């Protein structure tokens, strides 16, 4: 047998582990789609051009409610009803039902956005986010892929494609996304909740599915 991954038994200071927990909470996978749509609503002057501030706010609230609050509340209920042992979903088995729930909510949001007058770039991103959940679900059959890294990998690829497709976009967006991805991957390794393979696999799945979402 190969030697265990050193990150499974990390020996880091409590302060560093606290920061890793903080990064994992702030950049939780359920928040990533809301962050990106919030960026398009508040920062990009062209993504929702022609929409008044009220319409933009409603689109952001739609994503935050359907792709963050409802999945989080569903996981809370599963935990309280003892369908899962931990609200952190520490095993691959515990993640099966939450993945199915997330797929339903993510598909619903993308489907609503594509059938209403919306920003094309937002529709592409939401499709990529839905595909990322599907990809993570299938990987979860074989190993506990990192949900954090899947989500942040999708955001990283989004900003890469966004900056490459828009000549007016600042490269700072791509740099900040890369920094966030590095922080998340490092945090998951410091906490010892994933092996390096699970972290890199999540990052790859998130980036690949986001790229696929941009093709449609």
Which pLDDT score, from 0 to 100, does residue 46 have? Answer: 86
Judge contact between 128 and 213, C-beta under 8 A.
yes
Using only C-alpha atoms, what is the Rg of the chain? Answer: 17
Distance CA 37, CA 41 (A): 6
Which pLDDT score, from 0 to 100, does residue 2 have? Answer: 36
Kindly list the averaged pLDDT for each block of 10 residues, start to end, along the chain of length 216. 41 85 96 96 88 92 96 94 88 93 96 87 96 97 96 97 88 95 95 94 98 93
Each domain of the chain, given as residue ranges in start order, spans 6-213
**What's the burial of 169, exposed, middle or buried (CB within 10 Å: 0-12/13-18/19+)?**
middle
Which pLDDT score, from 0 to 100, does residue 216 have? Answer: 84
Which pLDDT score, from 0 to 100, does residue 126 have? Answer: 97
Which pLDDT score, from 0 to 100, does residue 5 have? Answer: 45
Which pLDDT score, from 0 to 100, does residue 10 have? Answer: 52
Which pLDDT score, from 0 to 100, does residue 183 have? Answer: 97
Judge contact between 216 and 127, C-beta under 8 A.
yes
**DSSP per-residue codes, 17-81:** HHHHHHHHHHT-HHHHHHHHHHHHHHT-SSTTTT--HHHHHHHHHHHHIIIIIHHHHHHHHHHHT
pTM for this predicted structure: 0.90
Evaluate the CA torsion angle 62, 68, 69, 70 in order and state its sign. positive
Tokens matching residue 142: 């074989």
Tokens matching residue 84: 């899962």
User: Which is nearest to 126 in space by CA: 145, 105, 99?
Assistant: 105
Which pLDDT score, from 0 to 100, does residue 118 have? Answer: 75
Burial 197-206 (b: 16+ CB within 10 A, else e): ebbbbbbbbb
């Amino acid at each position: 047998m190969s030697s265990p991954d050193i990150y499974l038994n990390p020996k880091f200071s409590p302060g560093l582990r606290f920061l890793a927990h903080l990064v994992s909470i702030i950049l939780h996978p359920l928040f990533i789609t809301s962050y990106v749509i919030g960026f398009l609503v508040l920062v990009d002057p062209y993504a929702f051009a022609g929409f008044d501030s009220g319409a933009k706010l409603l689109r952001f609230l739609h994503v935050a409610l359907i792709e963050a609050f409802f999945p989080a509340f569903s996981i809370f209920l599963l935990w309280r009803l003892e369908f899962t042992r931990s609200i952190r979903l520490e095993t691959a088995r515990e993640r099966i039902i939450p993945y199915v729930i997330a797929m339903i909510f993510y598909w619903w949001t993308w489907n609503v956005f594509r059938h209403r007058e919306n920003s094309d770039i937002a529709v592409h991103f939401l499709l990529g986010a839905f595909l990322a959940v599907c990809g993570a679900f299938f990987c979860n059959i074989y190993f506990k892929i990192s949900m954090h890294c899947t989500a942040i990998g999708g955001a990283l690829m989004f900003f890469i494609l966004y900056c490459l497709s828009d000549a007016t976009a600042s490269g700072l967006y791509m740099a900040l996304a890369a920094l966030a991805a590095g922080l998340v991957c490092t945090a998951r390794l410091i906490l010892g909740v994933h092996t390096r393979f699970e972290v890199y696999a999540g990052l790859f799945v998130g980036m690949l599915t986001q790229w696929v979402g941009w093709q449609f």
